[in-house]
C-alpha cells in the first residue's frame, strides 16, 4: 500500500482508505464491510500502518531540516489504547502523558519509564510521588504551586524537569483548544517575568530545570507561530544564562499541527520544521543551540482511525436536507457538538442508486446538538447501510462517554492486512459494575 502521508488535494479518500474492485471501502487493506460483520458497529477502526507512516514522516522531516538534535514525543492524550501505543513503540519516539492513567497505558504497551514525560496543570500528590519514584523520565512543571510542591519533596532521584511557559501567543483556532495565550489555564506567564522567576526559584532550591516547554493549542495552520514561540523561549533561555551562566539543554514548542478533517489547511511536518529552523537562524552568533522537541498527537493519531456506523432511521421534510440517524453519535465522538468539528465521510458500499446531495447525519443520543455531519454531501443512505467517518483516530475514544446509558464502542487494530480486537465493546452490565445500593435500600 503506497502511503502519501500528507495528501496534496482536498476531497480525496484519506491515507490508507481505498475502494476494492466492487467499489466497497477498505482501510489499511482490510474490508470495512468485513470488520462491521465481525465486530459490529459503532466501531473504532485503527491502522498501525497509517500511524507509523505519519510518525515516520514527522521524524524524517524534522531530522532532515534540523539534524539529529531534535526529538518527537507522541501526545498520548490523542489516543492511548495500549495496542495503538505498542504499534509506535519501536519508532524513536518519546511519549507524553497527561495523567498517571496514561502512564499505565504506556506501561501496558511495554514502553519504559525513560521514554515517558508527565504533563498536567494540577498533578495529584500521588502523581508527583510516583514520578519521583521513577514512573516517568521527565516532568513538565506547569505552574508555581507545582514547583513549590516539587521543592518540598525529599527524593527526586534522576528525574528530569522542564518548565511550561505561556509565551503569550494565541494562534487562530477554536478558543477551547488555544493554550498558549496569557491568563489561561496552562503554563507560567512569560511576559510578566514569572517564568524567569520560576527558573531562578528552582535553581536556588536545588531543582535545576533542564528545559523550557510551550504548547500553543491545536489545529494550528500557521507555521510562523511556532517560530515566534521558539524565539521567545530562546530569549528566556538567554536571559537565564546571563544570570546563572548555565544554558538550558532543551526547548520544546509542543504540538498542535493542523490536520485536514474536511476543508482545513493541513500543516506539513516540513513547513513546521522549517519554521523552527528559521527561528534558529535569527539567533545571535555563538548562542549554543538547544535540543528541540515537538509533541504531535492528532497529527499521528487522527488519520490512523475512522469510525464505522450503521444507518438506522431517517426522515425528510420538504425544503430541508434529509436527516439520517446512525447507531452512534456524540457518545463516541463529542467533537462536533463540543467544537463544531467537521469530518469527511463516505458510504462504505459501492454502487447504489440516486445522486449525491446534502444530508444531516445525526446520532442516537437525546440531545439536539448530537449531529455528526451537517450538510455532508453523500449518496442516498438507507437503513442498514454502512457509513465511514474519517480521521477519527484522535480525541474520540479518549473522550467517549456512556450518556443515556449507551455503552461505548469497541476498537479494532489493523496491521499489514490483519485485524484484531484491541478494546472490547462495553455492555449495559459493564456500565453498572461500580454500582452499589445503600445498605438501607437492599431487600431482605
Residue positions annotated with a catalytic role:
366
CA angle, corner 142, sides to 136 and 143, nearest 5? 135
Beta carbons of 397 and 308 less than 8 angstroms apart? no
Q: Which residues of 43-55 are buried (b: 16+ CB within 10 A; e: fewer)?
A: bbbbbbbbbbbbb
Other beta carbons within 10 angstroms of residue 174's beta carbon come to 14
d(CA 51, CA 318): 43
Give me 220's grid cell: 494550528
Give me 294's grid cell: 515537538
Beta carbons of 375 and 356 less than 8 angstroms apart? no
Q: Which residues of 407-420 are buried (b: 16+ CB within 10 A; e: fewer)?
A: bbbbbbbbbeeebe
- For residue 292, what is the DSSP state? E
The torsion angle over the Cα atoms of residues 116, 211, 299 and 224, rounded to 10 degrees, is 180
CA angle, corner 183, sides to 180 and 184, nearest 5? 55
Tell me the longest C-alpha to C-alpha distance in the chain: 82
Nearest-CA neighbor of 411 among 63, 141, 84, 3?
Answer: 84
Residue 243 to residues 200, 239, 251: CA-CA distances in angstroms?
9, 7, 18
283 burial class (0-12, 13-18, 19+ CB within 10 angstroms)?
middle
Give me 231's grid cell: 524565539
Tell me: cis bond preceding 42? Omega within 30 of 0 counts.
Answer: yes
Nearest-CA neighbor of 85 among 413, 391, 409?
Answer: 413
* Beta-strand pair 323-326/305-315: antiparallel
Amino acid at each position: 500500500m503506497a502511503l502519501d502521508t500528507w495528501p496534496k488535494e482536498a476531497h480525496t479518500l484519506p491515507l490508507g482508505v481505498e475502494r476494492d474492485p466492487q467499489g466497497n471501502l477498505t482501510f489499511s487493506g482490510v474490508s470495512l464491510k468485513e470488520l462491521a460483520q465481525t465486530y459490529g458497529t459503532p466501531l473504532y477502526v485503527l491502522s498501525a500502518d497509517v500511524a507509523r507512516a505519519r510518525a515516520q514522516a514527522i521524524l524524517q522531516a524534522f531530522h532532515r531540516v534540523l539534524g539529529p538534535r531534535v526529538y518527537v514525543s507522541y501526545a498520548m492524550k490523542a489516543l492511548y489504547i495500549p495496542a495503538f501505543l505498542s504499534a509506535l513503540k519501536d519508532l524513536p519516539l518519546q511519549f507524553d502523558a497527561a495523567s498517571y492513567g496514561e502512564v499505565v497505558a504506556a506501561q501496558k504497551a511495554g514502553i519504559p519509564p525513560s521514554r515517558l514525560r508527565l504533563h498536567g496543570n494540577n498533578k495529584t500528590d500521588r502523581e508527583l510521588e510516583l514520578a519521583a519514584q521513577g514512573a516517568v523520565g521527565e516532568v513538565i512543571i506547569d505552574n508555581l504551586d507545582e514547583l513549590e510542591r516539587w521543592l518540598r519533596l525529599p527524593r527526586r532521584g534522576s528525574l528530569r524537569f522542564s518548565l511550561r511557559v505561556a509565551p503569550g501567543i494565541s494562534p487562530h483556532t477554536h478558543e477551547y483548544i488555544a493554550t498558549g495565550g496569557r491568563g489561561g489555564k496552562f503554563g507560567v506567564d512569560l511576559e510578566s517575568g514569572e517564568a524567569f522567576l520560576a527558573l531562578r526559584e528552582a535553581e536556588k532550591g536545588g531543582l535545576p530545570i533542564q528545559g523550557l516547554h510551550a504548547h500553543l493549542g491545536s489545529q494550528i495552520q500557521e507555521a510562523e507561530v511556532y517560530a515566534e514561540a521558539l524565539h521567545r523561549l530562546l530569549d528566556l533561555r538567554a536571559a537565564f544564562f546571563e544570570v546563572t551562566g548555565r544554558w538550558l539543554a532543551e526547548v520544546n514548542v509542543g504540538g498542535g499541527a493542523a490536520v485536514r478533517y474536511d476543508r482545513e489547511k493541513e500543516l506539513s511536518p516540513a513547513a513546521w520544521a522549517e519554521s523552527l529552523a528559521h527561528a534558529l537562524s535569527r539567533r545571535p552568533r555563538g548562542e549554543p543551540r538547544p535540543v528541540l522537541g515537538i509533541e504531535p498527537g492528532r497529527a499521528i493519531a487522527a488519520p490512523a482511525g475512522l469510525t464505522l456506523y450503521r444507518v438506522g432511521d431517517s426522515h425528510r421534510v420538504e425544503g430541508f436536507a434529509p436527516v439520517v440517524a446512525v447507531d452512534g453519535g456524540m457518545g463516541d465522538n463529542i467533537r462536533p457538538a463540543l467544537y463544531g468539528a467537521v469530518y469527511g465521510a463516505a458510504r462504505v458500499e459501492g454502487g447504489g442508486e440516486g445522486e449525491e446531495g446534502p444530508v444531516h447525519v445525526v446520532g442516537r443520543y437525546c440531545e439536539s446538538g448530537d449531529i455528526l455531519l451537517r450538510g455532508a454531501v453523500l449518496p442516498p443512505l438507507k437503513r442498514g447501510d454502512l457509513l465511514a467517518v474519517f480521521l477519527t483516530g484522535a480525541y474520540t475514544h479518549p473522550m467517549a462517554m456512556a450518556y443515556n446509558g449507551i455503552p461505548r464502542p469497541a476498537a479494532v487494530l489493523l496491521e499489514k492486512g490483519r485485524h484484531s480486537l484491541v478494546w472490547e465493546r462495553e455492555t449495559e452490565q459493564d456500565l453498572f459494575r461500580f454500582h452499589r445500593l445503600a445498605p438501607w435500600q437492599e431487600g431482605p
